[in-house]
Amino acid sequence: MTAPRIAGTTSDEIREKSRLRHTLRRFDLLFFLICTIVGLDTIGAVAKHGAQGFTWLVFLAVFFFVPYGLLMAELGAAFPVEGGPYVWCRLAFGRFVAALVTVLYWCSNPLWLGGTLTILAVSAFGEFFTPLHGIARLLFALAFIWLAVASAIVSVRLGRWVPSLGAFVRMAVVGIFTLSVLLYALRNGIGGFGPAAFAPGYAVFIAVVPVLIFNYVGFELPSSASEEMLDPRRDVPRAIAWSGLGAVLLYGAPILAILLVLPREQVTGVGGFLDAAKQVFTVYGGSVSADGTATLTGAGKVLGAVTAAAFIWALLSSGATWLIGADRALAIAGLDGAAPRALGHFSRRSGTPIGANLLSGAMATLVMLLAFRLSAGSAERYFTIALGVAISTTTMAYLGIFPALVRLRRTRPEVPRPYRVPAGAAGAWVVSALTTFWAGVATVWLLWPGLGTDWFGATGDPDASLPAGVGRAAFELTQIVPIVVLLAVGVLFYALGTPTRRRAASDRAHATGDGGQ
């Protein structure tokens, strides 16, 4: 079945899309989605909030993740067009809104790659192999970033193995870790916590919701490559269903295991997962001192090194997978006149958007250099601030994507929908409203941490939600200034797309005979 075209299809679009390779099968989509959604980088950021973090994980699985999956299953099956999120937003709200949304959606990924993923990879390598300083740290970070970019540049036939291997690595690491926790518990007992520890509280709620939303998003990403799939109308909904179930398990098991092994005060956003792994791997060789410091020896040290290498690969595959999808959305925006035309070029050889890929690599490198410069030696502070920017730009982008479902139900009712959100128009409104609400509140709580700390009977200091050693004014600048800059970039990109839009208008005029005089 032919994918619906966006208004203004041009000879440029036909030429560029002729270079796409149709190779993605349902198997590829399933593992692409697992690699997209299950990010080991944020497990520690959730676990550090204690048992309540697990409570809110389950809560949002029901009230965000499921509605989100239903929404994306319909959009991905009904509008299987290259560029997915950009096209849906373009059809629903116009090119200018789509331009702003796409810049936020795309740019969050090089920010994330050059920020949190890189610092975690550097920290993991330093903890389990050898500490990195100076030029060694810089070279490692550059290799990490540009290997991810290279994975997005190569053809889909080769690049699809990066998320597939990334998914297998995640499942293996989580499985080994969970088994090791059971062995550790049999030998040493567990720290444990009573049912009261799971009782929800507002302060943890506003702190953990943005991270959990970030954990759970990504269902739409493969749809950025819809015209490189063999059967998107059938495969997208089924891949979403199976990967969604797997993601909840792959998040829930390690977070609960960390809570059983490590005291809450020892869990950090940077080291949470690997710190817990290091401790439980002492069952294979090693010891834990009175202050909680774990030292691995023998088989434990070998398994720790293998896990650290797998963890770094999982981080790299996460970054590469998101670049594969988000760069295509930006490329289609360039092809459609919502961004510079150069970004819409697809390679004849690989069928991938080289210009968008290289721009992502350059931005990730800049973010990494800036972050290393400004972090003042505090990996935890750098991680928290960089993660906040990456999440807020992502959640703001979804404010333009989630409402597209109800809009397109009304404006494009004739489009065949192989899968529809249940309960008709009411069901569509419910899933759009729920997902948009959570994206909105996550954005607000990221931009102003601690907002409402004294609401609903809770007490505390709103500034306690800030990273240690960072004042309110300084933190707000780190969050708000990048968003303002990115929105300005979106306006600039739209302006630079003017020649493409004019050429598209001219093509339409000639096609209808209005401009042939």
Per-residue pLDDT tens over the stretch 70-93? 999 999 999 999 999 999 999 999
The HSE-up count of residue 111 (CA atoms within 13 Å, CB side) is: 22
Q: Judge residue 198's burial from the number of C-beta atoms within 10 Å of its C-beta, 0-12 exposed, 13-18 middle, 19 or more buried.
A: middle
What is the reported pLDDT for 400?
95
What is the reported pLDDT for 150?
95
CA–CA distances in Å: residue 218 to residues 284, 321, 395, 482: 36, 10, 11, 22
CA–CA distances in Å: residue 286 to residues 35, 129, 280: 32, 16, 9
The answer to whether 331 and 344 have CB atoms below 8 angstroms apart is yes
CA–CA distances in Å: residue 204 to residues 33, 57, 73, 456, 467: 28, 12, 31, 13, 15
How far is 38 from 56, CA to CA, in rounded Å? 17
How far is 262 from 256, CA to CA, in rounded Å? 10
Cα–Cα nearest to 394, from 42, 3, 70? 42
At position 315, the amino acid (one-letter code) is: L
At position 319, the amino acid (one-letter code) is: G
How confident is the model over 354-399, as pLDDT tens digits? 999 999 999 999 988 887 776 655 556 666 667 778 888 999 999 9
The HSE-up count of residue 252 (CA atoms within 13 Å, CB side) is: 13
The answer to whether 261 and 190 have CB atoms below 8 angstroms apart is yes
Segments in the chain below pLDDT 70: 1-11, 190-193, 262-272, 374-385, 452, 454-460, 463-469, 507-517
How far is 333 from 311, CA to CA, in rounded Å? 33
What is the reported pLDDT for 26?
87
CA–CA distances in Å: residue 16 to residues 113, 159, 233, 410: 27, 19, 22, 31
What is the reported pLDDT for 98?
96
- Grouping H, G, I as helix, E, B as strand and the rest as coil, residue 377 is coil
Residue 377 corresponds to which tokens in the numbers above? 């030696």
What is the reported pLDDT for 1?
43
Q: Is the dihedral of CA 85, 90, 96, 97 positive or negative?
A: negative
Cα–Cα nearest to 383, from 361, 393, 368? 368
What is the reported pLDDT for 513?
58
Percent above pLDDT 90 for the chain? 48
At position 65, the amino acid (one-letter code) is: F
B/e letters for 11-24, b = 16+ CB within 10 Å, e = fewer, are: ebbeebbeebbebb
Cα–Cα nearest to 481, from 342, 353, 323, 370? 370
How far is 20 from 229, CA to CA, in rounded Å? 10
Q: Where exactly are the structural domains of the chain? A: 20-498
Give residues with Cβ within 8 angstroms of 505, minimum separation 6. Answer: 8
Q: Judge residue 375's burial from the number of C-beta atoms within 10 Å of its C-beta, 0-12 exposed, 13-18 middle, 19 or more buried.
A: middle
**What architecture is domain 20-498?**
Up-down Bundle (1.20)
What is the reported pLDDT for 110?
93
Residue 140: count other Cβ atoms within 10 Å of its Cβ.
Answer: 17
CA–CA distances in Å: residue 54 to residues 50, 127, 251, 253: 7, 27, 9, 10
B/e letters for 386-397, b = 16+ CB within 10 Å, e = fewer, are: bbbbbbbbbbbb
Residue with tokens 């799971």: 198
Q: What is the DSSP string of 480-498?
A: HHHHHHHHHHHHHHHHHTH
